[in-house]
């Protein structure tokens, strides 16, 4: 499905096309913050478009997955979840990652599998010829049941051992070795 849309890397002179995913935070990021994040070198946003409308977008930035950033996780759990399949695990308490800062699909296209296709596209982007040397994709997923289930369905795991009800987001990760393309 995504191959039928035009993929645009947001540039500073680009005129954004209309977009609405029924989430005010995501809509605001797309309309107001995505260009500022680009100018400040915080994130790069990619947009899937039709002729006069944005269908979906995502933004990515450099990050790390680290034990110090992971509340509610013991060193033993860190070793069980993250370090168990890594070379020289005793030497590292952080690993390179790419962060999905935002991911939105317009409300007319939600529920059709486009979000999953975009996640697969991102996974392929960071495994094909390993351009950035990152091992993980991380996301601060909204602490909403349907959002967490979406990422889990797409192979992401929750990093903290316990999710607090008042947490706005939940740190989730995906090990790119599971998707590796040679």
Q: Could you report the per-residue pLDDT of 81-96, keeping only the tens digit for each?
A: 665 656 555 566 778 8
High-pLDDT (> 70) share of the chain, %: 82
Would you say residue 70 has pLDDT above 60? no
- pLDDT score at 182: 44
Question: 125 to each of 19, 66, 82, 129, 135, how far by Cα in Å?
Answer: 24, 22, 22, 9, 12
Query: What are the domain boundaries of the chain?
Result: 2-178
Strand order in the sheet with 169-175: 6-9, 44-49, 54-66, 94-105, 136-142, 169-175, 157-158
Residue 73, pLDDT above cutoff 80: no
pLDDT at site 49: 97
Residue 169: CB atoms within 10 A of its CB come to 13
Q: What pTM was computed for the model?
A: 0.86
- In this prediction, residue 9 carries a pLDDT of 97
Q: What is the largest CA-CA distance in the chain?
A: 52
Q: Give the pLDDT confidence of 107-163 residue by residue, as tens digits.
A: 999 999 999 999 999 999 988 877 778 889 999 999 999 999 999 999 998 876 667
Phi, psi of 39 (to 5 degrees): -65, -35
Binning pLDDT at 50, 70 and 90, where does residue 3 land?
Answer: confident
With 80 as the cut, is the pLDDT of residue 15 above it?
A: yes
pLDDT digits (tens, 9 = 90+) for 112-122: 999 999 999 99
The whole-number pLDDT of residue 34 equals 97
The CATH fold assigned to 2-178 is Aminopeptidase (3.40.630)
Distance CA(95)–CA(97), nearest Å, equals 6
Share of the chain above pLDDT 90, in %: 60
Mean pLDDT of the chain: 86
């Amino acid at each position: 499905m995504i191959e039928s849309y035009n993929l645009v890397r947001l540039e500073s002179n680009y005129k954004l096309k209309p977009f609405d995913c029924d989430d005010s935070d995501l809509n605001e990021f797309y309309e107001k913050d995505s260009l500022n994040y680009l100018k400040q070198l915080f994130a790069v946003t990619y947009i899937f478009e039709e002729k006069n409308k944005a269908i979906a977008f995502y933004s990515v930035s450099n990050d790390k997955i680290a034990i110090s950033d992971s509340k509610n996780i013991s060193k033993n759990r860190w070793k069980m979840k993250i370090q168990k399949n890594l070379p020289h695990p005793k030497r590292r308490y952080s690993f390179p990652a790419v962060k999905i800062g935002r991911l939105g699909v317009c409300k007319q296209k939600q529920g059709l599998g486009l979000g999953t296709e975009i996640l697969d596209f991102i996974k392929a982007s960071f495994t094909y010829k390993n351009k950035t040397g990152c091992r993980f994709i991380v996301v601060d997923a909204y602490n909403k049941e349907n959002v967490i289930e979406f990422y889990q369905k797409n192979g992401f795991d929750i990093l903290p051992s316990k999710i607090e009800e008042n947490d706005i987001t939940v740190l989730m990760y995906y090990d790119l070795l599971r998707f590796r393309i040679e």
